Amino acid sequence: MVLSIFSLNVRGLRNNIKRKAIFLFCKEQPNTNCFLFQETHSSEDDHIFWRKQWGSGDIYLSHGTSHSAGVAIFLHRFNGRVIDHKGDKEGHWLMVNIELDDTKYILVNVYGFNNRAKNRKLISDLEKMIEEWKIIYSIEKVVVAGDFNMVPDEKQDRFPTKYNSPHFNQTIMDFSCTLNLIDIWRKLNPDKLHYTWSNSERSERSRLDYCLITGSLFPLSSNCKILHSPLIPLSVVQSNITTGHTASICLAC
């Protein structure tokens, strides 16, 4: 079987028409069984209603406020089982421990802060929790994906750049080294310039959304793509109209 992960910054899911459109769009993605949403702007009251609207599997939410943060993991026709899940109270991370075909994974959805110090603490906290779960549940396979709000390499992943040689983000590099994670899209596209965020004039662009996987999963990975979302015109956050991108990864198990 295949574990197929689709990550999307939805820029708010409170608008009913937009939410229905995103749910429909996601369910039309072929063979995808796990969706990671960032900036859901959800509250405790939304959980039951959104699950009924989704209708095709369990959903897990870590709430932010009605106008910021919030992350979610939605399962769609998922034939495995969820062993455990946990999230923070600010809506910036959500972890699930899943089992599919007798193989266990730790799956983490991240929405980074627009603050370097807060992001360092976020990644440091996640590292400790992932290490803890790896020991408790005897898991080696980890997938961390989402909108990190920081680029892995200031030279390749930001435009315009002020660097003539690689300038790696120390926070992401230390996190990846400690947990033996690789940036799968960059591994598959070592020289490609592709961005998941831009300002309205497209004069500034960054690859803020990516997927980090345990190194041993790379030989099992069939693809990792960055796609433009056709739902951008439906966004109620017009200033972010150019930022809605998606990233997906398929792990052939």
Binding-site annotation, residues: 9, 39, 147, 149
State how far the Cα of 210 lies from the Cα of 73, in Å rounded to an integer: 16
Q: Do 28 and 166 touch, CB atoms closer than 8 A?
A: no
State how far the Cα of 74 lies from the Cα of 150, in Å rounded to an integer: 24
What is the residue-wise DSSP string for 15-70? Answer: SHHHHHHHHHHHHTSTT--EEEEE-----TTHHHHHHHHH-SS-EEEE--BTTB--
The tokens for 108 are 């983490």
Pick the closest to residue 1 from 100, 138, 141, 147 (CA basis). Answer: 100
How far from the centroid of its chain's Cα atoms is residue 179's Cα?
17
- For 150, the 3-state DSSP assignment is coil
What is the residue-wise DSSP string for 179-237? Answer: HTEEEHHHHH-TT----SEE-TTSSSEE--EEEEEEGGGGGGEEEEEEEE-TTGGG-S-
Q: Do 185 and 77 touch, CB atoms closer than 8 A?
A: no
Q: Tell me which H or E stretch contains 6.
A: strand 2-9
Binding-site annotation, residues for Mg(2+): 9, 39, 147, 149
